[in-house]
Amino acid sequence: MKRAVASAHVHAQTRTSLRYEATWHVEGSLLTWKATVSLPGRRWNLAGGLPHWHGGSEAAAVREDIARSIDGLELG
């Protein structure tokens, strides 16, 4: 099963607002995602996942994981 989401996240340190589009896939207990994060003139591709997924709100879990990944980006 594949799903998609478009959203935004404010970087924890710089308070910069970034937009992202993500897709995720659930296969058994593995939830994986890929996202394109953008600012005007800059783009990043990120990927991640939750290897021991047990169900629940997929979108919320993906958003939280993407937010952690975005907060790890160096924007300066």
Q: Which residue has tokens 């300066």?
A: 76
Question: pLDDT tens for residues 11-59?
Answer: 999 999 999 999 999 988 899 999 999 998 999 999 999 888 888 889 8
Report the C-alpha gap between 73 and 76 in whole angstroms. Answer: 9
Is residue 1 pLDDT above 70, yes or no? no
Distances from the Cα of 5 to the Cα of 9, 27, 50, 56, 76, angstroms:
13, 18, 17, 16, 27
Q: Which CATH architecture has domain 2-71?
A: Single Sheet (2.20)
Mean predicted confidence (pLDDT) in 54-68: 90
pTM over 0.75: yes
* β partners of residue 31: 26, 50
Is residue 2 pLDDT above 90, yes or no? no
pLDDT of residue 74: 87
